Structure 1
């Protein structure tokens, strides 16, 4: 499944030239990932409350292709590409109409809330994430 999330670029998201400030793409991507998990019936707050673990960004590979500008509507496509014992890899693609703007590969690690140490993804969550990407 590819989850679609749209947002409008506001003045606060841009630099003095009206172009989205580079670090804001990470915030946009975070919102889109949270909504993708929510659409799976797996909101992050539930993972924390039921299992005492959370997903943390372990690695980001980000490729800027074209700038987004003030007042444009951009679409972020989020797709789970790999689920491991304690990690999830997600690809996110930013679009303005048919123009590719930014591509991210994000590695999330599952960590214990109490001490931040790595933890296995709870079995029920791993099943949901794997079924979403067609992995068994």
Structure 2
């Protein structure tokens, strides 16, 4: 098991998790209000998911399900301090998961599930493509 973890594409996982921060940044910058809710968060979620799947399929990443599940976890872990710092800077009050710690576990679970769904899509696409790695 330890050997499997060491051989995961950690730079890619971290980059994909960080890329998903576009979603909260759009909200912080007011783009979600300007472009409309709930359309903007839904559209950004779709774009992020498509990028995650596209990158994993194009790079023929082995274990896409695990890779993208971990990208979802990285996103959640990055989001927690980001939301705390930005809420303090923008409103002067601590908001987000650190203000309500009971929200941390559901936040992580939700984003791991998001990554797992994206990973399942990537895995299916890899299995349908000739000459790709077929591992979970």
Give the alignment's TM-score, normalised by structure 1.
0.36
Structure number with higher helix proportion: 2
Structure number with higher strand proportion: 1
Higher relative contact order (CA 8 A, sep 6+): 2
